[in-house]
Amino acid sequence: MPQSFDLFFASSNQHKFSEAKKILDEFGINLGFFKCNLEEIQSDSLKEIAKHKATQAFDKLRKPVIVEDDGLFIESLNGFPGPYSSYVFKTIGNKGIINLVKQKRKAKFVSIISYHDKYSQISFESKVNGMISKKISGKDWGYDPIFIPSKFKKTFAQLENKNEISHRFKALKKFANWYLDN
């Protein structure tokens, strides 16, 4: 029997979907994967990028959908790579970031979740503060091997409980509370 989903997560990134699915399962929300490449507009605002991705995803799918836009903001680099995190990861990667960050290592990971259905569009934002590690440590996915959340000594890639403390978890929790209320 085909599975019925409450809503879909539109993304090209399997890691993001897998984490989001586990998180929303805990809220009793059954998330399906709509694997696709969404165009990212150039903007200083993650929220504007996420909203644009949500509109595109809904236009393609015509079903309730969420998208997520993330950014790693490094304080000593005036917030770089921020909204350009995806491009910077593909070009200079974690090694390049480590080479750029010398003394001041403070950073934050931000997540925007944008929901879109026939009637509405709404976005939720959350962040996790932390720092850029001195070396690449742990499992290879995105910036996880170089981001150490505050109050921890290990990178996201080394932590068992990333999914309980991450930017994604916090933004999805806000979304789930709204979704279940509506």
Q: Which stretch binds ligand ITT (CB under 6 A): 83-91, 98-106, 130-138, 169-177?
A: 83-91
Q: How far apart are CA 26 and CA 103, in angstroms?
A: 39
Tell me which residue has tokens 């790693």.
Answer: 72
Contacts of 162 (CB under 8 A, 6+ apart): 19, 144, 156
Name the residue number minimizing CB distance to ligand ITT.
142
Which DSSP state fits 180?
H
Of residues 25, 59, 69, 117, which has the active-site annotation? Answer: 69
- Told to judge if 69 belongs to the known catalytic residues of this protein, a careful annotator would answer yes
What's the CA angle centered on 8, arms 7 and 9, to 5 degrees? 135
* Residue 153 or 182 with smaller CB distance to ligand ITT: 153
Residue choice 47, 89, 106, 154 for contact with ligand ITT (CB under 6 A): 89
Choose which of 58, 69, 101, 114 interacts with ligand ITT (CB under 6 A).
69
103 CB-side CA count, 13 A = 1
Q: Which residues bind ligand ITT (CB under 6 A)?
A: 11-13, 16, 38, 68-70, 85-86, 89, 141-144, 156, 166, 168
